[in-house]
Amino acid sequence: MRVKNSNFVDYVKIFCRSGKGGAGSAHFLRDKTTAKGGPDGGDGGKGGHIILRGNEQMWTLLHLRYKKHIFAEHGGAGSGNHRHGKDGESQIIEVPLGTIAKDAETGEVLCEITKDGEEFVMVEGGMGGRGNSHFKSPTNQSPRHAQPGVDVTEGWFILELKVLADVGLVGFPNAGKSTLLSVVSAAKPEIADYPFTTLVPNLGIVSYRDHKSFIMADIPGIIEGAAEGKGLGLRFLRHIERNSTLLFMVPADADDIAKEYEILLGELKKYNPELLDKDRILAISKSDMLDDELKEEIAKDLPKDIPSLFISSVAQQGLTELKDVIWKKLNQ
């Protein structure tokens, strides 16, 4: 997804073609001392691969948005005197951690890059052909044929990025997720008083005690029916899959806090039931407008199976307690 004035791209479709293997040589030895020597054709070089490599310094697939076709170099042909052909140069595609590669036609997941420097050969280069010296035998001492190189492999591939974070913020639009991220980290997401201000995920590093830290992801708001594609649909729901803890945020001025939480939970269950196995925390945002009596009333109706807190990003209330609960969940 790409939005105007945003560098965040989490989905690209690219065409990749490996290098063709070089042809083997059907050469015979000829020099000033040998008029009719035996076969000495060299092998062809290997074709280049298309390789994916993880890079922890990258956070978007923007660099592939305008480079749709990636071709590796062909292998060189073999030559006389058993000289081997030059191997084709491989093309290395650097991708951010959390990238998934799929076959565009079948939808099959080929690999998942999660570590810095991790490599995966997405399209293998053609093998070089063997020279005529390999085909020499007692009954055929001057073979006049050599192998051609293996042809190119090509196809369309989809690269999808799922944001890697420790904590994912889940909530309806305008629940105060971006405000919380901007207060607890140095991230500067766009903040405004209307739904769907956030159109792409934002990441922030949250400082904790004793120089510790964790990564928080602000994900665009979920609406009822998101699992069926309503609102911004599934495009951002997949970013939640990689977060180890989910922080549900419901504003204090919501009509029914428990019901909103259940709707959010239902959307995640419809999308992927495994998401419900993750640790969950419920934060009631914008709670600076509540007095203690109201908080006690609301607390009676909140789900008992997960920790719940009242926070206010603007008034900086309950944020230290929230960080403590998150840190405890991350290190259980």
Measure the CA–CA gap between 278 and 261, rounded to whole angstroms: 15
Q: Which fold, 167-330?
A: Rossmann fold (3.40.50)
Cα separation of 236 and 232, whole Å?
A: 7
Mean pLDDT of 208-216: 79
9 or 101: which carries more pLDDT confidence?
101
For the chain, give every residue range classified as CATH 2.70.210.12: 1-161
Tokens 């945002």 correspond to 285
Does 154 or 301 have the greater pLDDT score?
154
Q: What is the distance between the alpha carbons of residues 252 and 302, in angstroms, rounded to a whole number?
A: 12
How far apart CA 154 and CA 40 sit, in angstroms, is 33
Q: What is the pLDDT of residue 2?
A: 42
Q: What are phi and psi of 324, to 5 degrees?
A: -60, -45
Burial pattern 33-69, b for ≥16 Cβ within 10 A else e, equals eeeeeebbbbbbbbbbbbbbebbeebbbbbebeeeee
Q: Decide: 8 and 60 in contact? Cβ < 8 Å.
A: yes
At which residue do the structure tokens 């310094």 appear? 57
- Whether 3 shows a pLDDT value over 60: the answer reads no
Tens-digit pLDDT profile for residues 122-136: 999 999 999 988 888
Closest CA to 131 of 19, 22, 20: 22
> Pick the residue with more confidence: 61 or 219?
61
Which superfamily, per CATH, for 1-161? GTP1/OBG domain (2.70.210.12)
At a CB cut-off of 8 Å and minimum separation 6, what does 156 contact? 13, 14, 15, 16, 103, 104, 105
Task: Note the pLDDT of residue 217.
Answer: 79
Percent of residues, the chain, with pLDDT higher than 90: 24
**Residue found under tokens 């120089």:** 211
Where in the chain is CATH 3.40.50.300?
167-330
Backbone angles phi, psi at 156, to 5 degrees: -95, 140
Whether residue 258 is predicted with pLDDT greater than 60 in this model: the reply is yes
CA distance 77 to 128: 8
Strand ranges (E), 286-326: 308-310
Q: How confident is the model at residue 190 (pLDDT cuts 50, 70, 90)?
A: low
Q: Report how far residue 160's alpha carbon sits from residue 239's, in angstroms, rounded to the nearest whole number.
A: 10
Q: What is the pLDDT of residues 307-321, one digit of tens each?
A: 888 888 888 888 888
DSSP state letter for 158: E
pLDDT band at 54, cuts 50/70/90?
very high
pLDDT digits over 235-254, tens only? 666 677 777 788 888 888 87
**Is residue 151 exposed (0-12), middle (13-18) or buried (19+ Cβ within 10 Å)?**
exposed
CA distances from 70 to 63, 99, 120, 274, 308 (A): 12, 17, 15, 36, 49
E strands in 114-164 = 119-123, 154-161
Taking only Cα atoms into account, the Rg of the chain, rounded to an integer number of angstroms, comes to 29
Higher pLDDT, 292 or 225: 292
All residues at 6 or more sequence positions from 325 whose CB lies less than 8 Å from its CB, including other chains: 281, 307, 309
pLDDT at site 87: 93
Element (H, E) at 264: helix 257-271
Element (H, E) at 249: strand 245-251
